[in-house]
Amino acid sequence: MSFEIRSKDLLGRIGQLRTKHGTVETPLLLPVVNPHHQLIPAQQLRNTFGFDALITNSYLIWRRSRQEGKVPKVHDLLNFDGVVETDSGAYQILQYGDVEVQPNEIVKFQETLDSDIAVILDVPTGQELSKERAKRTVDETIRRADEALRVMSRKDILWVGPVQGGIYPDLVSYSAREMAKRDFSIHALGSPTPVMEQYEFDTLVDMVMAAKLNLPPDRPLHLFGGGHPMMFALAVALGCDIFDSASYALFARNGRFMTVQGTAKLEDLEYFPCDCPTCHGKTPEKVRNMIPVDRERFLASHNLHACFSEFQTIKQAIVDGRLWELVEARSLAHPALQRAFRRMLHYAPNFEKDTPIRKKKGPFITTPASLNRPEVIRHQQRLLERYQAPSRANTIVLLPESYLKPFRENPSLEKLLRKIERQPGVHICSYNLAFAVVPQELLDVFPLSQSVDALPPTTGTINYATTRILHYLKATAYNRCVIVVDQQWQKKIAKSLQIKLGRRTRTKVVESKKGAEDALSQIPKLLKGAKRRHRIS
């Protein structure tokens, strides 16, 4: 049994998780199934909706088995031939304060149930505890983890080691580091439900990242209680691999209709913004006139389709290298998600390390937030750390990005470019708001020519580009800079360079008044007679 990563983007990944009842693909949503009352039959979850795995509560089964005097096999009890994860009763501790079963007892019981994935009985931190009391839940969970590992006898069950700490990131980090030392196949972030119910998604970002950055990357991370399609993309981008939720049924019971844009009340809908198999051909009015049990089942079925569809969308975004775009788009659905997205930007360097160097499609750079994309951060870092300008170059010619791309198709511009290149000591680069300086010889390196840039020339983005250009120029041995401008924001960059570079690098501005050909034709005259100077390294 193992976890194999097939594709990744940001901290999200598509993986294959092997269990004794088959292999399932992550990101994975486990619908919560009540073992004694199934609104949607478990096998239907697989055959109709496409869920190959589910989660049920071993504590509820334990209570019933004590009354009946026998322990069933969980797959037989649910009539489900897919992968079954069993929870241990920690949710009941969070809700009611305690459970009758002992931690080691529920471990052995789950082995008897023949679960595929099983969770030890941890102590949820919740959201209301002081930091001192929260620390006790972390310590007690670690103690129980050690006891559970000693009594486990089956090696064919994937055991989950929960991470606690609640809203205290330092406690979550400590809990994650300690659980990482122990022999668990999967880890789970405990106690996020109260945070999600109150739409404190920015707090959730800190909780997930505190756990993710301190757990082994080869173990999946389960987000307990994460079950709304509006937040799946964000959580996957943060590195969550497995989700579980009863929201599809709980929301249906309350007449609520789930979408990636949020939750709607059935009574408020005139049209269904959905064409899933459940909604196709139906109207809200017809559904409102159904008998209650049919109406509840209709809404639960739609909610399941909405969740499953969003996971398919997320997986394709990972394959395409467009998870960033999806998360940013989803963040527009609610102000709480916008706050969470902005909070996610604080962890931008961590995303760069796990984002592939090459992708099927180039990134869309559309907002100032895009400057935190892994691709942009990577270019800026590697330009300063790994790139070396031509050794004899003492003059940099900075051209607007649009000037270089057409040369391959425009013979007259190509001729002017070659003329400039032949000048002694000249190094041609392009510049833009996102990647700042792009040496001409790197233009075809992903994603410099493959990206689509619609970044607005705001004060912030202009200052960003100016700062990055300055960093590059100060790290090189140029003593002269020629910058071509044809837009107002480019003029602002040029003016800043003239002021901040001073005498160290003489800066000459060429204003394009009649187009690219006119601007390029002026440059050889400026460079004529320039002295060749060896680069000092």
Residues catalogued as catalytic: 87
Cis peptide bond N-terminal to 31, omega within 30: no
Among candidates 67, 534, 483, 4, which has minimal Cα distance to 220?
4
Half-sphere exposure (Cβ direction) of 71: Cα atoms closer than 13 Å: 12
- Distance between CA 157 and CA 327 in Å, rounded? 34
Cα distance from N-terminal residue to C-terminal residue, the chain: 53
Cα(317)–Cα(447) distance, rounded to whole angstroms?
A: 17
* Cβ contact 215:178 at 8 Å: no
- For residues 234 and 35, give the distance between their C-alpha atoms in angstroms, rounded to a whole number: 30
- Going by C-alpha positions, the residue among 396, 399, 391 that lies closest to residue 473 is 396
Q: Write b or e for each residue in 26-38: b if 16 or more Cβ atoms lie within 10 A of its Cβ, otherwise e.
A: bbbbbbbbebeeb
Q: Which amino acid is at 358?
A: R
Residues ≥6 apart with Cβ < 8 Å to 170: 210
The residues pairing with 56 across neighbouring beta strands, listed in sequence order, are 86
